[in-house]
């Protein structure tokens, strides 16, 4: 049932209720009014009867009966008329209905007020209702005139016919309902428009506004709903745009993850896999269903602590650069990978997971190995060309002097000394070339680098003294033991110190400093020599490039190879007329793939 029907029925019902209540109150008031009229008429009648009736006469009862019949003809509701003399105990009844009069008198006496000469009551006896009046001519007199009336007859006689009232009432309610329905319909017309607009909004249609025709509360409500609809339209467009953007981004990310050649898998904060792409399945052999829900399924057992430490560092906010490590496939094969771990944060910037990107490094390692072999072959070619060039000059000298000896058939000692010098140069070149080209089996053992430097410093002290050079040492007190082949390192440091001494023709100081770092030992040798410009410094280490008159250019190259076999780093810096610094970094412990065997060129 619609609201206008309910309001119309409610208005009609309220009107009906008001009319009914009014009728009940009016009838009650009418009944009280006619009762008062009866009371006044009964009092007047009692007074007159006292004036016209001689109670002491012998025919008093006859006169009383005649008077009763005369009055009853005009007032048919009068039941009995009685005269009571309390002093003489005398009671006269006009109709002789003694029981009814006595019962009525008993009830009257129960509420009788001796301070009043006239009393009028409504009493109930014998399942009937009566009006009774009691009149005394004087307040202290014992003579009373009592009149008894039938209440039902009296009320019926003077009651109003309600049929017309109810007929009018029915018509009034009917027309009131129609009028109230029309009025409510007109009043609720803006509400109908509001309901239409609410239905439109619920169906996500915001185009048409509500027409505002009034300035009352409904008009204000319509204005607010129009504003709400407009705001909802704006917000819906923004949400739709954001949804489309998020959908495109989600599809893009899913496409990126699923079509990436790198294995990508997502872990929660507990380390359990919650998502994995196709490259993950192809690389490790596990299906996504097998990996999801498991912790460290592809991490070898001996690397689990490393993985947990990386996750701990990421949770602390540190940025983890790509690291090379190992992972295990479903078949148990251990493969080299480069792994990147990034945190995944929620809207509150709390870490909710980790994104792992694994790149298979097997192909890259094979390519690097091929590049190393290619570089080795290229270096060997350069060395061979350099050796051939360097040896050709001494051989040309030897050939010339030997031809002179054959032609002159004499032994010239000066020529012999020159030929021996050239043969020594050829031997030096071939020896250094063999160091570079010949594979050498090397067994590493732990030695303190300070002891090795000290032995080299003592060995080179005589040559430093000859060149007016002072060697100053500054060693750390920390333990500097490293895995190494001490003879090879001695060769490196001899070469470095020799170059430093020869770079100072006028003498000077050579500073040797040893420091222990976090994972390395640093050896720094600084001279006060002539130094080198930038172009010369770039060529240091090239085969057969040297700035010395009698140098071969292979010493630095040999030293670099030895340092490389120790997984170390050799750096050179120089300024003209200031000096040169050689810095060598050597690891404190062996790397994961360190083998006690030197690499081949």
Q: What is residue 147's three-state secondary structure?
A: strand
Is the per-residue pLDDT at 439 higher than 50? no
Q: What pLDDT is stored for residue 541 in this prediction?
A: 65
Q: What pLDDT is stored for residue 505 in this prediction?
A: 85
**For residues 244 and 240, what is the distance between their CA atoms, to the nearest angstrom?**
6
Q: Using one digit for the tens of pLDDT, what is the confidence trace for 252-284?
A: 777 777 777 888 888 898 888 988 888 888 888
Question: Which range has the worst mean pLDDT, 94-103, 424-433, 498-507, 586-595?
Answer: 586-595
Phi-psi region of 445 (alpha: psi -120 to 50; beta: other; left: phi over 0): beta
Q: Using one digit for the tens of pLDDT, what is the confidence trace for 526-535?
A: 999 888 888 7
Position 574 confidence tier, pLDDT thresholds 50, 70, 90: confident
Structure token pair of residue 18 = 């008001």
Mean local confidence (pLDDT), 79-97: 73
Are 469 and 508 in contact by the 8 Å Cβ rule? The answer is: yes
Q: What pLDDT is stored for residue 583 in this prediction?
A: 92
**CA triple 492-496-499, angle to 5 deg:** 140
Q: What pLDDT is stored for residue 441 in this prediction?
A: 47
Q: Using one digit for the tens of pLDDT, what is the confidence trace for 131-165?
A: 888 888 787 777 888 888 888 888 888 776 666 66
**For residues 122 and 235, what is the distance between their CA atoms, to the nearest angstrom?**
78
**For residues 112 and 534, what is the distance between their CA atoms, to the nearest angstrom?**
143
First and final CA of the chain: distance in angstroms?
A: 99
**For residues 276 and 297, what is the distance between their CA atoms, to the nearest angstrom?**
12
Residue 488 C-beta-side C-alpha neighbours within 13 Å = 22
Mean local confidence (pLDDT), 166-179: 75
Higher-pLDDT residue of 346 and 17 is 346
Mean local confidence (pLDDT), 35-48: 85
H or E element: which one contains 61?
helix 60-74
Q: Using one digit for the tens of pLDDT, what is the confidence trace for 312-361?
A: 888 888 887 888 888 889 888 888 998 888 898 888 888 888 988 888 88
When mean pLDDT is compared over 3-7, 40-44, 125-129, 388-392, the highest value belongs to: 40-44
Q: What pLDDT is stored for residue 22 in this prediction?
A: 73
Q: What pLDDT is stored for residue 593 in this prediction?
A: 37
**For residues 348 and 354, what is the distance between their CA atoms, to the nearest angstrom?**
16
Structure token pair of residue 159 = 């009651």
Is the per-residue pLDDT at 592 higher than 70? no
Q: What pLDDT is stored for residue 380 in this prediction?
A: 60
Is the per-residue pLDDT at 300 higher than 80? yes
**For residues 81 and 55, what is the distance between their CA atoms, to the nearest angstrom?**
13
H or E element: which one contains 185?
helix 163-187
Q: Using one digit for the tens of pLDDT, what is the confidence trace for 205-231?
A: 777 777 777 777 767 777 787 788 778
Ramachandran angles phi, psi of 514, nearest 5°: -125, 125
**For residues 525 and 573, what is the distance between their CA atoms, to the nearest angstrom?**
11
Q: What pLDDT is stored for residue 509 in this prediction?
A: 92
Q: Using one digit for the tens of pLDDT, what is the confidence trace for 507-554?
A: 899 999 999 988 899 999 999 988 888 877 777 766 655 666 555 556
What the chain holds in terms of domains, given with CATH numbers, is 3-158 (3.30.450), 260-360 (3.30.450.20), 366-437 (1.10.287.130), 445-587 (3.30.565.10)
Q: What pLDDT is stored for residue 390 in this prediction?
A: 60
Q: What pLDDT is stored for residue 164 in this prediction?
A: 66
Structure token pair of residue 286 = 């596990």
% the chain with pLDDT above 90: 6
The predicted model scores a pTM of: 0.37
**For residues 117 and 144, what is the distance between their CA atoms, to the nearest angstrom?**
9
Residue 553's nearest CA partner among 409, 428, 410 is: 428
Position 559 confidence tier, pLDDT thresholds 50, 70, 90: confident
Position 100 confidence tier, pLDDT thresholds 50, 70, 90: confident
**For residues 534 and 536, what is the distance between their CA atoms, to the nearest angstrom?**
6
């Amino acid at each position: 049932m619609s609201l206008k029907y309910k309001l119309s029925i409610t208005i009609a019902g309220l009107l009906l209720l008001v009319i009914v209540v009014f009728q009940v109150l009016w009838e009650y008031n009418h009944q009280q009014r006619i009762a008062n009229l009866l009371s006044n008429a009964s009092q007047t009648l009692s007074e007159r009867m006292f004036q016209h009736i001689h109670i002491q006469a012998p025919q008093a009862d006859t006169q009383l009966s005649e008077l009763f019949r005369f009055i009853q003809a005009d007032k048919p509701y009068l039941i009995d008329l009685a005269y009571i003399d309390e002093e003489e105990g005398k009671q006269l009844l006009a109709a002789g209905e003694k029981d009814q009069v006595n019962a009525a008198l008993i009830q009257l006496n129960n509420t009788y007020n001796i301070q009043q000469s006239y009393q009028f009551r409504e009493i109930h006896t014998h399942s009937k209702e009566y009006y009774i009046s009691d009149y005394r001519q004087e307040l202290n007199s014992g003579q009373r005139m009592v009149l008894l009336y039938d209440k039902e007859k009296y009320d019926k006689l003077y009651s109003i016919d309600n049929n017309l009232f109810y007929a009018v009432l029915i018509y009034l309610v009917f027309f009131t309902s129609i009028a109230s329905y029309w009025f409510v319909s007109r009043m609720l017309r803006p509400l109908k428009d509001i309901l239409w607009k609410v239905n439109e909004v619920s169906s996500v249609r915001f185009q048409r506004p509500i027409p505002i025709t009034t300035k009352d509360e409904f008009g204000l409500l319509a204005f607010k709903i129009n504003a709400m609809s407009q705001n909802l339209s704006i917000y819906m467009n923004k949400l739709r745009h954001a949804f489309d953007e998020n959908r495109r981004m989600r599809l893009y990310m899913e496409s990126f993850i699923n079509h990436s050649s790198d294995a990508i898998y997502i872990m929660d904060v507990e380390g359990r896999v919650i998502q994995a792409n196709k490259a993950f399945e192809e690389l490790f052999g596990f299906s996504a269903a097998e990996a999801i829900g498991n912790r460290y399924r592809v991490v070898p057992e001996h690397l689990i602590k490393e993985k947990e430490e990386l996750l701990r560092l990421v949770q602390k906010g540190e940025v983890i650069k790509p690291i090379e490590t190992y992972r295990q496939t479903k078949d148990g094969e251990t493969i080299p990978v480069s792994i990147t771990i990034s945190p995944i944060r929620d809207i509150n910037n709390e870490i909710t997971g980790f994104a792992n990107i694994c790149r298979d490094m097997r192909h890259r390692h094979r390519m690097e190995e091929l590049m190393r072999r290619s570089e080795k072959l290229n270096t060997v070619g350069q060395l061979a060309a350099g050796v051939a060039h360097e040896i050709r000059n001494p051989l040309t000298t030897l050939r010339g002097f030997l031809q002179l000896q054959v032609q002159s058939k004499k032994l010239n000692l000066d020529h012999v000394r020159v030929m021996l010098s050239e043969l020594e140069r050829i031997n030096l070149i071939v020896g250094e070339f063999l160091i570079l080209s010949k594979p050498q089996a090397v067994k590493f053992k732990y030695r303190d680098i300070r002891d090795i430097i000290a032995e080299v410093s003592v060995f080179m002290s005589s040559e430093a003294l000859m060149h007016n050079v002072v060697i100053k040492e500054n060693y750390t007190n920390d333990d500097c033991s490293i895995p190494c082949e001490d003879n090879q390192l001695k060769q490196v440091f001899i070469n470095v110190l020799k170059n430093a001494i020869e770079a100072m023709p006028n003498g000077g100081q050579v500073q040797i400093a040893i420091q222990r770092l976090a994972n390395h030992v640093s050896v720094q040798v600084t001279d006060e020599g002539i130094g080198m410009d930038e172009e010369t410094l770039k060529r240091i280490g090239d085969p057969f490039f040297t700035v010395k008159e009698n140098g071969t250019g292979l010493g630095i190259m040999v030293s670099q190879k030895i340092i490389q076999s120790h997984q170390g780093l050799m750096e050179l810096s120089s300024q003209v007329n200031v000096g040169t610094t050689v810095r060598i970094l050597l690891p404190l412990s062996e790397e994961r793939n360190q083998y006690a065997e030197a690499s081949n060129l």
